[in-house]
């Protein structure tokens, strides 16, 4: 904090004190909390984020997916002993281990049709909210990842060690090898049925109707964690250093939006309100998103001026390129 900021800060404090002659212990704590909250607001493009919650767990959370309707957060927990298990973090804050026949590898949620699928070493299962599971497709291969097309009609299933992707029709009638994608790490399908995957930490897109995947421009080539389609149909990507990008599927490019300043990101996801969940070793962090600056007063004091807010839209994609993008691309 430089002298000028300190002075303004002091003036601000004084005025707060003036306006409330009786300074109770509670109001002091509240004021300190507000200052702490406001000092930690992140501005990412046109959106404001604050770390709202940290859920500790033993191990690394991988492949986070969220059932928007229930708020259930699904992920694969990789324990210290490198053992994997499928977990659900309920809105109540409780973790639950999903019991599967065999080894659970990952989960995917078809949020349009409200179906949660489990990838396991003996096929694909549907997960019901009462915790029961039902076999969906027995492939005879170890399923690592899966993704479902927008209409729920087609499932893409990545298996290991064969390292191939199967395409399965909804009714299970037709199954074929889907050759355009060599392996299916981090398989994701957007609402226009473009397919994304990550190979050696580089993100690729296979555009709908094409047969050759292409490397997405504007993303780091060696540290991508995954891709997530938001409820507003936008496609986002995050790297290991929590840099958030929005993708332009049309021209297979990405635009840097900002960073959450968290390192060692293993997975990220977005909930029904575009809040962002970040999985790091031993924790899942939830960043609550605000359309408007929740601390406009503090921003005025800190920066000496207030940025005009031209838009109130929830989309992160509508503003021009930030300075941070330019910095990043210069590297
Ligand atoms: C979660 O872990 C962090 C970092 O190790 C620690 O500071 C915090 O107190 C833990 N929270 C809970 C509720 O245990
Ligand atoms: C891709 O398209 C977007 C939106 O039309 C545009 O802003 C961006 O400059 C394009 N990027 C490239 C690399 O062509």
Ligand 2 near 292 CB (within 6 A) = no
User: Measured between alpha carbons, how far is 13 from 31 in angstroms, rounded to an integer?
Assistant: 9
Ligand 1 atom closest to Cα of residue 56: 1
- Answer yes or no: is the C-beta of 173 below 6 A from any ligand 1 atom: no
Q: Which of 271, 269, 201, 206 is nearest to 240 (CA)?
A: 201
The confidence score (pLDDT) of residue 238 equals 98
Neighbours of 5 (CB within 10 A): 13
Is residue 9 classed exposed, middle or buried when 0-12, 13-18 and 19+ CB atoms within 10 A define those classes? middle
Nearest Cα neighbor of 237 from 284, 192, 190, 273 is 190
Atom of ligand 2 nearest to the CA of 218: 13
State the Cα–Cα distance between residues 229 and 216, nearest whole angstrom.
Answer: 15
Architecture of domain 52-290: 6 Propeller (2.120)
Average pLDDT, the chain: 85
pLDDT of residue 22: 67
DSSP letter at 250 equals G
Burial class (CB in 10 A: 0-12, 13-18, 19+), 34: middle
Best CA proximity match to 56, nearest among 280, 289, 226: 280
Mean pLDDT value of segment 220-231: 95
Q: Is the CB of 56 under 6 A from ligand 1?
A: yes
**Could you read off the pLDDT of 174-224 as tens digits, one per residue?**
889 999 998 889 999 999 999 999 998 999 999 999 999 999 999 999 999
List the chain domain ranges.
Answer: 52-290
The SS3 of residue 302 is: helix
With tokens 């281990």, the residue in question is 97
Burial class (CB within 10 angstroms; exposed 0-12, middle 13-18, buried 19+) of 256: buried
Q: What pLDDT digit, counting tens, does each position of 266-303 carry? A: 999 999 999 999 999 999 999 999 999 999 875 544 44
Residue 86 and residue 131 in contact, taking contact as beta carbons nearer than 8 Å = no
Q: Is the CB–ligand 2 distance for residue 141 below 6 Å?
A: no
| 258: its two tokens | 């900002």
């Amino acid at each position: 904090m430089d002298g000028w900021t300190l002075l303004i800060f002091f003036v601000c404090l004084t005025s707060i004190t003036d306006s409330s002659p009786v300074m109770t212990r509670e109001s002091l704590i509240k004021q300190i909390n507000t200052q702490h909250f406001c000092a930690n607001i992140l501005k990412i493009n046109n959106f404001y984020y604050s770390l709202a919650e940290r859920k500790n767990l033993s191990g690394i959370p991988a492949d986070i997916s969220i059932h928007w309707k229930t708020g259930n957060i699904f992920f694969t927990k990789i324990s210290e002993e490198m053992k994997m298990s499928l977990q659900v973090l309920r809105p109540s804050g409780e973790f639950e281990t999903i019991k599967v026949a065999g080894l659970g590898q990952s989960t995917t949620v078809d949020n349009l049709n409200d179906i949660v699928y489990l990838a396991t070493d003996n096929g694909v299962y549907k997960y019901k909210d009462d915790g029961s599971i039902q076999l969906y497709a027995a492939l005879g291969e170890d399923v690592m990842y899966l993704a479902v097309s927008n209409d729920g009609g087609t499932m893409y299933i990545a298996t290991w060690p064969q390292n191939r992707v199967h395409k399965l029709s909804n009714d299970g009638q037709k199954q074929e090898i889907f050759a355009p994608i060599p392996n299916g790490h981090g398989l994701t399908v957007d609402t226009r049925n473009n397919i994304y995957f990550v190979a050696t930490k580089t993100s690729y897109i296979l555009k709908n109707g094409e047969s050759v995947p292409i490397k997405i421009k504007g993303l780091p080539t060696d540290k991508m964690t995954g891709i997530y389609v938001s409820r507003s149909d936008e496609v986002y990507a995050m790297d290991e250093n929590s840099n958030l990008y929005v993708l332009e599927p049309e021209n297979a490019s990405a635009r840097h939006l900002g960073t959450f300043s968290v390192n060692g990101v293993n997975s990220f996801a977005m909930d029904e309100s575009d809040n962002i969940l970040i999985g790091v070793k031993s924790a899942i962090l939830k960043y609550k998103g605000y359309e408007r600056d929740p601390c406009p007063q503090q921003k005025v004091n800190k920066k000496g001026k207030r940025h005009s807010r031209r838009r109130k839209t929830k989309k992160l994609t509508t503003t021009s390129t930030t300075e941070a993008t330019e910095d990043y691309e210069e590297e």
